[in-house]
Structure 1
Amino acid sequence: MTFLEDRDLEDVPNIPEYYKGKTIFITGGSGFMGKVLIEKLLYSCTDLDRIYLLLRTKKNVTPEERLSVIYRSNCFDRLRKEKPGVFQSKVFFIAGDIMETGLGISDEDRTLIVNRTHIIFHAAASVRFDDSLKTATKLNLLGTKEVIELATEVRNLECLIHVSTAYSNTNRDPIEEVIYPPHIDWREMLQVCQELDDHTLQVLTPKYIGELPNTYVFTKQLAEHVVYEYKGKLPVVIIRPSIVISSYEDPFPGWIDNYNGPTGILVGCGKGILRTLYSSPDMILDYVPVDFTIRSCIVASWIRGTKALSPTDDIPIYNSCAGKLKNITLQELVDIGKEIVEAIPLDNMIWTYHVTVTKSLFMFNIYVMALHTIPAIFVDLLLTIFGKKPMLLKIQRRVYVSNLALQYFLIQQWTFSNTNLIYLRSKIKEEDRKEFYYEIEKIDKYEFFKKSCAAGRKYLLKEKDENLPKARIHHQRIRFLDKLLKFIFYGLIFWWLINTNFIKNLFMS
């Protein structure tokens, strides 16, 4: 529980009323969570004044062009249909770069942000686990420092939401909604990355990150301490999502635009490419729908923004995660995936859906060789013979690398406390419950993942619904072929066994 909720909220405006006329500055608006945040704000708090997005030129695409690309996303289908023109009239870009000093913002744009902004959502970050220490530090640590420094200049700042990660303290269990001691002083880390060359930094990386699994977790942990130094000085809230997955409701059920988390697992298994996982079947996975995290961000900004800042104010922390509210094991996910493939198979399945989960690293490597590598070599050989480009071995190499990157998170179990998050939702006003309440414990797991897979099939794989009958026929053929080959394989083994001298002598004696 935090001090912010210990108030009488009867005379406080509801959430849409609070956002009316407000100007919002968002970093990370082009990302998965960022798009859902923009859509939800525009859809449920339409009377806000405007939203500024920090956008950089990327791959020769200008910020202006990137803003158009963002709006073309299927994430905004509901908005285009029900509230046309709202995005164009209320969303603007600020040219800049999270990795640059001063966020790379021009003096004119900085003055604009300083004078107009009321709420900041800092969601920009690199979620790559294999980033170099220097890159991760620039994105996650220096970027946060620059956002905080900008926030100190904003004249009418009412709230700053800093999006961290529930895995920022993986060396602890349970993980509570508190700030843990830093692994190193963040200023020292910035200085080290500035002064040392890339090779030296690479050599020293294991020494710096210590017990933590990668540079992402390490730099996100330090970034929290940049924020926490402004306790009582800035109206800040820290949100720590766990594994953010497809939407439950907003903007529509199943919305997803990446292969992270269970989506990648289910797609790989559904295509028949992913056949084994290195983990425990009983491993509990902490997934949270993206719209639940976005709703909690908006509610947290409302409850912080409606209270004047006091020097004695602490910084509330919310672990946006399932915790003990809704558990799902890896084996459950695999089993649900098998049922879903029967109902909505993917196009051009390479083989049947079958996944072996093992916590033995030795057996995992055996399975990878037998179920991934050897079949991939065989298929690529056939493709080469028929004059087509071999590709499966390359895909399996990527699958293996992804398995290694996730290994740390698939073999360790954490308990996440979300007491603050649960208490926060209890303060939502009755008139706001339909649009902003989040209740993960009532989700039907099978229906949720079925809708997620259907949306992933459509929006990630670009597979059409009218192709489903064809996909089902292909799936039946693949399943028949799988059973036939197994029958032949085990038949040959049986034939070989009964023709061994041992068996012959056994029956003749």
Structure 2
Amino acid sequence: MTFLEERDLENVPNIREYYKGKTVFITGGSGFMGKVLIEKLLYSCTDLDRIYLLLRSKKGLKPEDRLAQIYSSHCFDRLRKERPGVFESKVYFISGDVSEVGLGLSDEDRTLIVNKTHIIFHAAASVRFDDPLKVAARLNIRGTKEIMELAKDVRNLESLIHVSTSYANTNRDPIEEIMYPPHADWRETLQVCEELDDHTLEVLTPKYLGELPNTYVFTKQLAEHVVYEYKGKLPIVIIRPSIVISSHIDPFPGWIDNFNGPVGILVACGKGILRTIYSSPDIVSDYIPVDVAIKSFIAASWIRGTKELEPTDDIPIYNSCAGDLNNITINELVMIGKDVVTTLPLNNMLWTYGGSITTSLILFNIKVLFFHLLPAIFIDILLWIMGKKPMLVKIQRRIYIANLALRYYITQQWTFCNKNFITLRSNIKKVDKPDFYYEMENIDKYEFFQQCCAAGRKYLLKEKEKDIPKAKAHYRRYYI
């Protein structure tokens, strides 16, 4: 239990009351978790004053165009239907970039944030495992430093939620809700990244990371220490989500907008292009539905924001993860996928459902050669003969690279402690429980992943329900 839950909360306003009239500043609002956070705040805390999103120009799109693109997402279907006009009237963009000094803010926009903001959610980050150290450090370390520099000037700041990851300390087991010693000095790391050329830094990176697996984990761990230096100075909470996956309830069951995590595995297996996985069948991966994580973010900002900051205050840490509440092994996930694909097959599958688990690295590479690469070459030759663009070798290359990046995580087992995460939900007031209470233990795994596959089929692959009978007939032919 953290010091925030130890106080008497009887006379504290509930979550909706707390957010009434508040201004929220969000980084990472265009991402998967960011969209769900925006939707949930607008849907369940509609009386908030406004939300500012830090957005940069990207791929030729200006911030205002990106804001419209965000709202066009299916994530906001419920909001458009039940709360029409709320997004347009309460969500505004602030032009800037987390990777730039001063966040790339104009003087006018910085003044606006400093004078208006009450709550900050810092969720922007580089989440690629294979980013060069310089790129990851610029986004995850320096970006966090710039957010903290801005936050210390915000006049009415009540809570700042820093989104980290449960895997920030993968060299430890169990992983508890505490601040572990840093693996390096974050200031020196930024200095090294700025002074060394790209080639030299690439050569030195493995030695610099030490026992940590990649630049993502390394820089996220150091970012926590950037935040921790403001202990007692700013009202901060650190939340560490585990592997964030499709939604359980909000905004609707199964929502997802990327192929990361188990949905990507299920889709690749369902298409017949993923035939083998290098892992152990008994490995338990810690998955957290995105809406469960977002509810914990909002609850944490409420419980921190309703307590006046004192110099002796520590920074509470919550492992937003399943832990012992509910878990699933790699083997269970693959078997569920096999059951689901018979009732909900994907269009134009190239082979029957794949996904055998291989514990031998030698056998895995042999299977990749015979079941991934050679069939891909054969099909691409057929496509080329028919005058179509070859594509499968390219896809298999991406799958293999993804498998290499995930190998560290699907061949090892960690124990995540989430006592604080559980205690936080127990302090949510009765009136708030329908909208903000989160639980994992009563989620039916089969039903949940069936919803994940159905939503992935619809929103990621853009497949239509009317095509299911045709897909079933195609699947039966391949099965025979």
TM-score, normalised via structure 1 length = 0.94
**Residue in 2 that maps onto 1:140:** 140
Alpha-carbon distance in 1 for matches of 2:397, 2:134: 26
**Residue in 2 that maps onto 1:426:** 426
**Residue in 1 that maps onto 2:215:** 215
The code of the aligned residue for 2:76 comes to F
The code of the aligned residue for 1:52 comes to Y
**Residue in 1 that maps onto 2:85:** 85
Question: SS state of the match for residue 167, structure 2?
Answer: coil
The code of the aligned residue for 2:173 comes to D
Alpha-carbon distance in 2 for matches of 1:297, 1:51: 15
Q: State the percentage of identical aligned residues.
A: 74
The code of the aligned residue for 2:4 comes to L
How far off is 1:60 after superposition? 1.5
**Residue in 2 that maps onto 1:311:** 311
Q: After superposition, what is the alpha-carbon deviation per residue over 1:360-402, rounded to whole angstroms, capped at 9, x for unaligned?
A: 1001001111111111122222222323222111111111111
The code of the aligned residue for 1:317 comes to I
Alpha-carbon distance in 1 for matches of 2:343, 2:179: 45
Question: SS state of the match for residue 169, structure 2?
Answer: coil
Alpha-carbon distance in 2 for matches of 1:39, 1:273: 34
**Residue in 1 that maps onto 2:415:** 415
Alpha-carbon distance in 1 for matches of 2:56, 2:375: 43
Residues 273 and 354 in structure 2, CA contact (< 8 A), matched pair in contact too: no
Alpha-carbon distance in 1 for matches of 2:380, 2:194: 46
Alpha-carbon distance in 2 for matches of 1:37, 1:62: 22
1:460 aligns with 2:431: no
**Residue in 1 that maps onto 2:238:** 238
**Residue in 1 that maps onto 2:399:** 399
Question: SS state of the match for residue 455, structure 2?
Answer: helix
Structure 2 counterparts to residues 19-98 of structure 1, below 5 A:
19-98=19-98
Alpha-carbon distance in 2 for matches of 1:279, 1:109: 48
Q: 5+ residue gaps in structure 1?
A: 481-509
**Residue in 1 that maps onto 2:106:** 106
Alpha-carbon distance in 1 for matches of 2:389, 2:73: 31
Alpha-carbon distance in 2 for matches of 1:94, 1:209: 34
**Residue in 2 that maps onto 1:485:** none
1:158 aligns with 2:158: yes
**Residue in 2 that maps onto 1:253:** 253
Kindly name which structure, 1 or 2, has the bigger radius of gyration based on alpha carbons.
1
Question: SS state of the match for residue 238, structure 1?
Answer: strand
Structure 2 counterparts to residues 289-368 of structure 1, below 5 A:
289-368=289-368
Alpha-carbon distance in 2 for matches of 1:305, 1:205: 39
Question: SS state of the match for residue 33, structure 1?
Answer: helix
- What CA RMSD, in Å, does the superposition of the two structures yield over aligned residues? 0.6
How far off is 1:110 after superposition? 0.3
Alpha-carbon distance in 2 for matches of 1:360, 1:449: 27
**Residue in 2 that maps onto 1:178:** 178
Report how many residues are paired.
Answer: 480
**Residue in 2 that maps onto 1:504:** none
Alpha-carbon distance in 1 for matches of 2:69, 2:11: 41
How far off is 1:331 after superposition? 0.4
**Residue in 1 that maps onto 2:14:** 14
Question: SS state of the match for residue 304, structure 1?
Answer: helix
Of 382-391 and 281-290, deviating more is 382-391
Residues 245 and 290 in structure 2, CA contact (< 8 A), matched pair in contact too: yes
**Residue in 2 that maps onto 1:507:** none
Question: SS state of the match for residue 319, structure 1?
Answer: strand
Alpha-carbon distance in 2 for matches of 1:394, 1:29: 31
**Residue in 1 that maps onto 2:386:** 386
Q: 5+ residue gaps in structure 2?
A: none
Question: SS state of the match for residue 352, structure 1?
Answer: coil
Alpha-carbon distance in 2 for matches of 1:30, 1:154: 23
Alpha-carbon distance in 2 for matches of 1:173, 1:9: 34
Alpha-carbon distance in 1 for matches of 2:251, 2:462: 19
How far off is 1:124 after superposition? 0.1
How far off is 1:195 after superposition? 1.1
How far off is 1:75 after superposition? 0.3
Alpha-carbon distance in 2 for matches of 1:160, 1:384: 54
Residues 319 and 420 in structure 2, CA contact (< 8 A), matched pair in contact too: yes
Alpha-carbon distance in 2 for matches of 1:464, 1:174: 44
Spell out structure 1 runs of 4+ moving beyond 4 A: none
Alpha-carbon distance in 2 for matches of 1:466, 1:337: 21
Q: After superposition, what is the alpha-carbon deviation per residue over 1:45-77, rounded to whole angstroms, capped at 9, x for unaligned?
A: 000000000000011100000000000000000
**Residue in 2 that maps onto 1:441:** 441
Residues 164 and 220 in structure 2, CA contact (< 8 A), matched pair in contact too: yes
**Residue in 2 that maps onto 1:288:** 288
How far off is 1:354 after superposition? 2.5
Alpha-carbon distance in 2 for matches of 1:323, 1:234: 29
Alpha-carbon distance in 2 for matches of 1:392, 1:24: 44
Alpha-carbon distance in 1 for matches of 2:389, 2:75: 34
**Residue in 1 that maps onto 2:263:** 263
Question: SS state of the match for residue 298, structure 1?
Answer: helix
Residues 269 and 353 in structure 2, CA contact (< 8 A), matched pair in contact too: yes
Q: After superposition, what is the alpha-carbon deviation per residue over 1:394-415, rounded to whole angstroms, capped at 9, x for unaligned?
A: 1111111110111111111100
1:371 aligns with 2:342: no
Alpha-carbon distance in 2 for matches of 1:68, 1:378: 42
Alpha-carbon distance in 2 for matches of 1:314, 1:85: 40
How far off is 1:318 after superposition? 0.3
Residues 118 and 156 in structure 2, CA contact (< 8 A), matched pair in contact too: yes
How far off is 1:196 after superposition? 1.0
The code of the aligned residue for 1:359 comes to T
How far off is 1:197 after superposition? 1.0
The code of the aligned residue for 2:359 comes to K
